[in-house]
Amino acid sequence: MMKKNTAAQRWISAPLLCGALGVSACAAQPPVTLSQTETVVHQTSERNAPLSAPVELQSARNEFDNARLALDEREYEPARRLAEQALADARLAELRAETESARQTAHDLGLSSETLRDEAVRASIQPRSLPIELRLAKDEFDNARLALDEREYERARHLAEQALADARLAELRAETEIARQTAHDLGVSSETLRDEAVRLAALY
């Protein structure tokens, strides 16, 4: 059961906006870094021969590598787009994997792709250009995640619902496409965190 909970928390701990806004609240609970997730991908990839992996997994690896190169060259929009393609292919590969090892590799690559996408978003936007509702949603999301880590499941659920509501309002009021997409993705992350809080509350 602990293994399952840890995997769930890893998925949520790639918080979309934690790095994106660069606020001090993230200091107490640092996000998963690219180096950490890339290490996981390389370790799990070594357990899979290329011929045993779905075609989608190889495509995801290539897209991830290209996204990482684009990010290093400060080409943030191509990096974000490639990372999203890698994420989509990794999720498809996870569904089609025929072995547990391949499934886990695809899952970890998906996490890395999501983290890289968020890193590209963070690098490309200015915090002051974001709607006030988005900043509120980000703070609520961070507090909800902390509450979940401390096993305060009802508080985590309540905060995640507030973050979801503010993120949706921010999406409606966003004046730029990048702010709109950021708000949308934060809403998705908040909804996932809320559902995880509800699931854990039912278990414990």
Same topology, domains 28-124 and 128-203? Answer is yes
Query: Under CATH, which number does the domain 128-203 receive?
Result: 1.20.58
Residue 69 has a pLDDT of: 93
pLDDT above 90: percentage of residues in the chain: 46
pTM score? 0.43
pLDDT in tens, 139-171: 999 999 999 999 999 999 999 999 999 999 999
pLDDT-based confidence at residue 29 (cuts at 50, 70, 90)? very low
Low-confidence winner among 17-21, 104-108, 112-116, 199-203 (lowest mean pLDDT): 17-21
Domain chopping of the chain, boundaries = 28-124, 128-203
Is the model's pLDDT at 3 over the cut of 80?
no
Q: Stretch 81-94: mean pLDDT, rounded?
A: 93
Residue 203 has a pLDDT of: 86
Q: Stretch 56-61: mean pLDDT, rounded?
A: 92
Q: Which CATH architecture has domain 28-124?
A: Up-down Bundle (1.20)
Vertex 83: Cα angle to 81 and 86 (nearest 5): 115
Is the model's pLDDT at 25 over the cut of 60?
no
Residue 78 has a pLDDT of: 92
In whole angstroms, how far apart are CA 4 and each of 65, 159, 192, 200, 201? 28, 23, 15, 11, 14
Nearest Cα neighbor of 28 from 191, 129, 188, 146 is 146
Q: Per residue, what are the HEC states of the chain? A: CHHHHHHHHHHHCCCCCCCCCCCHHHHCCCCCCHHHHHHHHHHHHCCCCHHHCCHHHHHHHHHHHHHHHHHHCCCHHHHHHHHHHHHHHHHHHHHHCCCHHHHHHHHHHHHHHHHHHHHHHHHHCCHHHCCHHHHHHHHHHHHHHHHHHCCCHHHHHHHHHHHHHHHHHHHHHCCCHHHHHHHHHHHHHHHHHHHHHHHHHHHC
Q: What average pLDDT does the chain have?
A: 77
